[in-house]
Amino acid sequence: MRKSWVVIRREFLERVRTKWFLVGTVLGPVLMALLIFLPAVMVSRSGAERAIAVMDVTTSEFGQRVTEVLDERGRLQATRMQVEAAALETTADSLAQAVGRKEIDGFLIVTDQTVEDGRAEYRGSNATAQIEMEMLQHFLGQALLTERLNQVGVDPQLVAHANSVRLDMRTVTIRGGEATEQSGEATFMLAYFMWFLLYMAILLYGVQVLGAVVEEKTTRIVEVLVSSLRPFELLMGKVLGVGAVGLFQLSIWAVTARLLLTQRDVIGRMLGLEGPAQAFPLPEVPVSTIVVLLIYFVLGFFLYAALFAAVAAMSSTEAEARQAQAPVTIFFVIPSVLSLMAMLTEPDGALFVALSYIPFSSPISMPLRWVVSDVPIHELIGSIALLMLGLLLITWIAGRIYRVGILMYGKRPSPKEVWRWVRAS
């Protein structure tokens, strides 16, 4: 046991000391922070101080109305310019120069044509800013509607009343028979994020175990090691060591994600942002979700790490191991993708429930179910128990393959031979 500890320590320290670990650990939270704050930064930078000119070539009051609507409701500074149709191009040129000198951000051209067939034109330096253009279009459309209703003689007050309503539909997730504060979109974001995290972490760290086993085998260090400790102790040390690195990294990510989300207003203010402006709804990450995530990562990682170790032990070279890992990887990818699809199509369907019980898919499926739907606690415990049972069986088989395989060189064993290794006493 003490010797397993030496192996665990080596695996952990050697991996944590690498540049990749540092880069990965720091990059995770940085990307999350960007995801959370970048839209807010962009909105606060753009929204406030856009100055545009409204080039009014109309003969009606439409130009005037557009300018008022934009100025009042559109977080814009809009200035109207009355222009004769004949002078349109020369004025446009001089306004373009003004945009070039950054005196204004752009200008909107409205003509009598606009009222008739809805055609308008905006030229500006921010023409590619999706949100701003949508806003401009929205208010222009409102002004247009008002103008046309006025033309057919509808009471202006009635029009103003109709226009004053804004549609705002909220989506709310129901859990445990109660509505949560969480929007459906945010729940989906969190589930998708967790899927990605688990998928990457189990696969990446599982493959690291594969690499570690092959390294020891090709360098024959394994012979010296198994003359000092039992093959199973060695295998356990490796899996626990690599797993500890994964758990460490994942915990750092999970905790920083939670901190970033719960403290985002505080951090936002520190960054000089006004209000929680965000491009999409952000989820809350309850502690229970983090715990479920970590439990399933650990168990799922152990399961696949054991399989990867067995596959590595059967191979004599790195190239061979890379080939041999493909079946295990496919074995992992297919249930993972199925889980994601089941979640998207039928979060309460039988397939999703079944996947959350099968030990090969539950490490991914159950955390997703936990986030998107209401999982009774006994189902969670049942799934964990099944996974542990599967883990014991797989580890037992993998350990036996590993024990014989690490000392074998030469051609790849046939399935029949591998079965004989498993049965060998």
Partner 1 sequence: MSDQLAVELLGVTKRFAGHTAVRDLDLMIPTGSVYGLLGPNGAGKTTTIRMIMAIIAPDVGSVRLFGQAKRGRELSQRIGYLPEERGLYRKMKVIDLLVFMAQIKGVSGRHAKKSAVEWLELLGLSDWVEKKVDDLSKGMQQKVQFISTLQHEPDLVILDEPFAGLDPVNTQVMKDVIVELTRRGTTTLFSTHIMEQAEKLCDSICIIARGAKVVDGSLRDVKREHGGSHVVVAVEEGVESVADILDDRSLVSKADNYGQYAELELVDGADAQRLLHGLVSSGATVTRFEIAEPTLNKIFIDLVGPDAATPRAEEVPNNA
d(CA 293, CA 362): 11
**How many CB atoms sit inside 10 A of residue 151's CB?**
11
Q: How far apart are CB 207 and partner 1 at their closest, in Å?
A: 16
Residue number with CB closer to partner 1 (79 or 316): 316
Q: What angle, 0 to 180 degrees and rounded to 10, lies between the N-to-C axes of helices 184-218 and 362-372?
A: 160
Shortest Å distance, C-beta 425 to partner 1: 7
Q: If DSSP codes are grouped into helix, strand and coil, which group holds residue 257? A: helix
Closest by alpha carbon to 108, among 66, 146, 45, 141?
A: 66
Rounded least distance, CB 223 to partner 1, Å: 4
3-state secondary structure (DSSP) of residue 407 = coil
2 versus 102: smaller Cβ distance to partner 1: 2
| HSE, side-chain direction, 13 A CA sphere, residue 294 | 17
Q: Of 21, 17, 12, 4, whose CA–CA distance to 241 is shortest?
A: 12
Shortest separation between residue 11's beta carbon and partner 1, angstroms: 10
Q: Which is nearer to partner 1, 221 or 271 (CB)?
A: 221
In the complex with partner 1, the residue whose CB is nearer, 196 or 409, is 409
* Residue with Cβ nearer partner 1 (71 or 417): 417
From the CA atom positions of the chain, what is the Rg in Å? 31
From start to end of 120-237, where are the E strands?
121-124, 174-175, 178-179
| Residues at the contact surface with partner 1, assessed by CB under 8 A | 2-3, 6-7, 10, 14, 215, 218-221, 223-230, 404, 407-408, 410-411, 413, 417, 420-421, 423-425
Q: Measured from the CB of residue 310, what is the shortest distance to partner 1 in angstroms?
A: 16
Of the two residues 218 and 278, which places its CB atom closer to partner 1 in the complex? 218
Of 258 and 322, CB closest to partner 1: 322
For residues 155 and 223, which CB has a smaller minimum distance to partner 1 in the complex?
A: 223
Minimum distance of partner 1 from residue 45's CB (angstroms): 45
DSSP helix/strand/coil, 325: helix
Three-state DSSP at 17 gives coil
Sheet holding 106-110, edge to edge: 76-82, 50-56, 106-110, 121-124
> Which neighbouring-strand residues pair with 78?
52
Question: Closest distance between partner 1 and the C-beta of residue 416, in Å?
Answer: 11
- Distance between CA atoms of 77 and 59, rounded to whole angstroms? 23
Q: How far is CA 226 from CA 10, 72, 215, 230, in A?
A: 16, 78, 14, 6
Work out how close the CB of 293 gets to partner 1 at its nearest, in angstroms, rounded to a whole number: 30
Judged by beta carbon, residue 22 or residue 224, the one nearer partner 1 is 224
Q: Provide the minimum distance between the beta carbon of 225 and partner 1 in the complex, in angstroms, as a whole number.
A: 6
Cα–chain center distance at 171: 20
Q: Which of 256, 221, 239, 341 is nearest to 299 (CA)?
A: 239
Shortest Cβ 261–partner 1 spacing (Å): 37
Considering beta carbons, is residue 212 or 366 the nearer one to partner 1?
212
Q: Which is nearer to partner 1, 228 or 288 (CB)?
A: 228
User: Residue 224 Cβ, how far from partner 1 at the closest point, in Å?
Assistant: 6
Closest CA to 46 of 156, 151, 109, 127: 127
Per-residue CA distances from 38 to 33, 81, 84, 381 (Å): 8, 35, 43, 39
